[in-house]
Amino acid sequence: MSGAEYGDPETRETMKRELRERLVEAEKEGRALRVYCGYDPRTADLHLGHTITMRKLRQFQDFGHDVTFLVGTFTSLIGDPSDKDKARDQLTREQVEDNARTYAAQAFKILDQARTRVRRNDEWLSTLDFADIIRLASNFTVQQFLVRENFAKRIDTGQAIYLHEFFYALMQAYDAVAQEADVQVGGQDQLFNILVAGRKLQQGLGQKPQIAVIMGESLPGTDGSIKMSKSLGNHIPLLAEPWDMFGKVMSIPDHAMPIYHKLILGWQPAQLEAMARGLADESLHPNEVKMRLAQEIVGIFHSPDAAEAARKRWDEVFRSGSKNAVPEDITEEPLVEPKKLLDILRDLKMVSSGQEAKSLMKGGGIRLNGALIDDATLVIQPAMLPAVLQVGKRKFVRLVKPE
């Protein structure tokens, strides 16, 4: 129950007592607890924020329990309305399948692959017919859903609440039923879905209600304050290249360093207090602390060698004394014929759109051989090569003539 939080002490004590009772029952039955957490592939990459619940799953694994990493291939089609002030865009099956392709591999950065059961909730949700949905929905009242804070806010502001959004909690509740779950792990935004909907549906269908392990703290994004989220653009993807991951960690504000040490590195209170004292008496420099943090995080999700290389590259760029320092190990791309700079940036995925490139130019974020570029119509000629193209602080490519 470490790290779990429910908003009131009584609920926490109830979950703690039920978990202890379920452990005793499972031991008498000679089985492990069935524990799971679901992850909706609304996007292609998981991020550091997702690893908080994964670490709790790993704790259950290490105590010998049966852990399932559930990929929400069906729930993703609707999208969780929790903590949303408007309905999510609906994805197609093709988009969901494409996004889900590497989810399990990403999870194995934290979970033990040999001890992890990977399932997809389209296994059971896609087989339900309309009569099944009516039967399941009869376990809930409209009032139970309307008192949810995000729905209540929408009503107060005149924002639409679509009927299909009610189905999300119903579907997630059925995930618990289909797996006969003993424990479901989730974040604070899942309090209703797990503690209310999941437990109530299990009871309505004759199962013992699952124990909700709701993690109390969320990891802030690179802005240091708002919960890490792909949709907000403040996330650090698990699939980020070592250099990019290192740089993103270095971009977090100093005040966010303690919670990163706590939630990602698992530091205990005594370690956090020692760091706070060192920063306060200046025996520790914030930048050095953050560099060690970045190196450890890259080491976890890549390798110690990759982390060391990322730190070396950071030193080359930001400690060389030159604003235009270029790392040694940058990618080379041949340029066969004259090509618009905007097309090069898009093709190499250094920007997501021409509009982003123009915006970066206005802010002094694009350089060619160290010189700022502000001409969106610039054409790069083979005669200008070799040339180093830089976008922002961390994206570099060397354009060269073909051999």
Residues in the chain: 403
Name which of 42, 44, 3 is nearest 188 in CA terms: 3
Amino acid in position 393: K
Provide the 10 A C-beta neighbour count for residue 228: 19
Name which of 65, 73, 169 is nearest 117 in CA terms: 65
Confidence (pLDDT) at 325: 63
Confidence (pLDDT) at 372: 81
Confidence (pLDDT) at 126: 94
Interatomic CA distance for residues 252 and 100, integer angstroms: 28
Q: Compute CA distances 34 → 4, 6, 400, whole Å.
A: 18, 21, 56
**Domain coordinates of the chain in residue numbers?**
9-214, 242-318, 331-400
SS3 212: strand
Q: Is 266 left (phi over 0), alpha (psi -120 to 50) or beta?
A: left
Q: 387-391 and 366-368 as β-strands: parallel, antiparallel, unpaired?
A: antiparallel
Q: Is 64 left (phi over 0), alpha (psi -120 to 50) or beta?
A: left
Confidence (pLDDT) at 85: 44
Provide the 10 A C-beta neighbour count for residue 1: 13
User: Which token pair is 179?
Assistant: 């797996």
User: Which token pair is 100?
Assistant: 């889900």
Confidence (pLDDT) at 213: 97
DSSP string, 280-306: HTTSS-HHHHHHHHHHHHHHHHT-HHH
Q: Provide the Cα torsion 334, 340, 341, 344; round to 10°.
A: -50
DSSP string, 160-189: ---HHHHHHHHHHHHHHHHHT-SEEEE-GG
Q: Kindly report whether the peptide bond that precedes residue 304 is cis, defined as omega within 30 degrees of 0.
A: no
SS3 34: strand
Interacting residues of 187 by C-beta distance below 8 A, sequence separation 6+: 52, 53, 214, 215, 218
pLDDT tens digits for the chain (403 residues)?
A: 989 999 999 999 999 999 999 999 999 999 999 999 999 888 888 999 999 999 999 999 999 999 999 999 998 887 655 544 445 567 788 888 888 888 988 999 999 999 999 999 999 999 999 999 999 999 998 888 887 777 878 888 888 888 888 888 899 999 999 999 999 999 998 999 999 999 999 999 999 999 999 999 899 998 888 889 877 778 899 988 898 899 889 888 899 999 999 999 989 999 999 999 999 998 989 889 999 999 999 999 999 999 999 998 888 776 654 555 677 667 888 988 889 999 999 899 888 888 888 888 888 889 887 778 888 888 888 877 888 888 887 788 889 888 7
Q: Confirm if 222 and 248 have CB atoms less than 8 A apart.
A: yes
Interatomic CA distance for residues 292 and 298, integer angstroms: 10
Beta bridge partners of 70: 38, 119
Q: What is the CATH number of domain 331-400?
A: 3.10.290.10
Q: Confirm if 339 and 379 have CB atoms less than 8 A apart.
A: yes
Q: Confirm if 175 and 70 have CB atoms less than 8 A apart.
A: yes
Confidence (pLDDT) at 13: 97
Q: Confirm if 221 and 235 have CB atoms less than 8 A apart.
A: yes
Residue 204 CA from chain centroid, whole number? 33
CATH fold, domain 9-214, is Rossmann fold (3.40.50)
Q: 371-372 and 395-400 as β-strands: parallel, antiparallel, unpaired?
A: unpaired
DSSP annotation of 134:
H
